[in-house]
Amino acid sequence: MADHVRQVHARWFACLPAAAAAIAAYEGRGRGRRGRRPRPWRDHTLRYGIVAETRPTRRARRGRPAKMDPPPTESGYRLVVEVEVLRNPEEDNGWTVLATTVPPEGGTDAEILQAYQDQNTPVEPGFRWIKNPAAIAPVWLEKPERIAALAMLTVVGLLVSSLIQRQVRLSLRTHDQQVPGNKGATATPTAAVVLSLFAQVALVQLWLGDQQVEQVYGVQPHHLLCCDALGLDHSWYEASSAYKNGRCVQTP
């Protein structure tokens, strides 16, 4: 808010219509930038005004001015803004859309919302990922039951992702350990970071004559930490190989 007020006060207009057009843009009555109407402030009420002022300017001619010449000035207009903080911004501007299958006798809207927010592993943080158009769009489904099934699988997948994040963070905090993150080592990795750590793990398959050799490559100690946190068997990522003529017998 302070940056916006300084920006408004710093603007200078040579004519009154230009200043009025700027106020219209600030108040949402103009086209806005790139054709988008500006959003109103949620927690404040802003009132704009126009004042006429003069300011020093450069001389129109070169050379030293005469001693009796007054300093050159120009007339124009500035904007002033008054900021009023809303008393109850959450009540005046806060809205929550509640869609639930819980019957009315199961509780009031406030009770249902509070019970949902008290969950330890909500799936809402995962919706930031599926907002990407490339995540689940386009959806080539027409039947409502198939669309509902896809939505159900998406929610289940986000719930599993939340559980992965919860278990890994809990284990790292309990044992005072860290794993590589986006900006160095961290004890609170997101599920996306945990999954990206395993992107470098690869199963290498080689044929030596009639024998096939398999080797797991890229396993690091932090991978085993994640396996311990999630209760996964280390043998899935151990460098185990099995040789047999014509075929390969894999261990779990």
Alpha carbon 194 to chain centroid, angstroms: 18
Mean pLDDT for 183-194 is: 89
Question: What's the pLDDT score for residue 23?
Answer: 85
State the pLDDT confidence band at 252, using cuts at 50, 70 and 90.
very low
The per-residue pLDDT of the chain, averaged, comes to 78
With a cut of 80, say whether residue 150 has pLDDT above it: yes
Please check whether residue 36 is in contact with residue 48, taking contact to mean a CB–CB distance below 8 angstroms: no
The tally of domains found in the chain comes to 1
Please tell me the least confidently modeled range out of 1-10, 65-74, 112-121: 112-121
Q: Please check whether residue 64 lies inside any domain of the structure.
A: yes
Task: With 0.85 as the threshold, say if the pTM is over it.
Answer: no
* pLDDT over 50 (residue 13): yes
* Domain hosting residue 67, numbered range: 2-92
Q: Give me the mean pLDDT over the 191-207 stretch.
A: 87
Distance from C-alpha of 217 to C-alpha of 234, rounded to nearest angstrom? 14
**Is it true that the peptide bond before 138 is cis, omega within 30 degrees of 0?**
yes
Of 31-45, 126-140, 158-172, 201-215, the range with the highest mean pLDDT is: 158-172
Task: Tell the burial category of 179 from Cβ atoms under 10 Å away from its Cβ (0-12, 13-18, 19+).
Answer: buried
The answer to the question of residue 88 being in a domain is yes
149 domain-assigned: no
67 or 128: which leads in pLDDT: 67
Question: Is residue 210 over pLDDT 70?
Answer: yes
Per the CB < 8 A criterion, the answer to whether 167 and 189 are in contact is no
Three-class SS state of 27:
coil
User: Has residue 42 been placed in a domain?
Assistant: yes
Q: Who has greater pLDDT, 93 or 109? A: 109
Domain membership flag for residue 40: yes
Above 70 in pLDDT, residue 49?
yes
In sequence order, the 6+-apart residues with CB closer than 8 A to the CB of 127 are: 158
Q: Residue 45: CB partners within 8 Å, gap ≥ 6?
A: 83, 84, 86
Higher-pLDDT residue of 113 and 117 is 113
* Confidence bin at 180 (pLDDT 50/70/90): very high
Pairing assessment for the beta strands 44-56 and 179-181 based on DSSP bridges: unpaired
Q: What is the pLDDT of residue 250?
A: 42
The answer to whether residue 153 sits within a structural domain is no
Residue 80 three-state SS: strand
Q: What is the pLDDT at residue 243?
A: 44
Average pLDDT over residues 80-90: 75
Per the model's pLDDT, the better-predicted residue between 246 and 200 turns out to be 200
Q: Say if 129 falls within a structural domain.
A: no
- Whole-number Å distance between alpha carbons of 42 and 23: 18
In a domain, 59, yes or no: yes
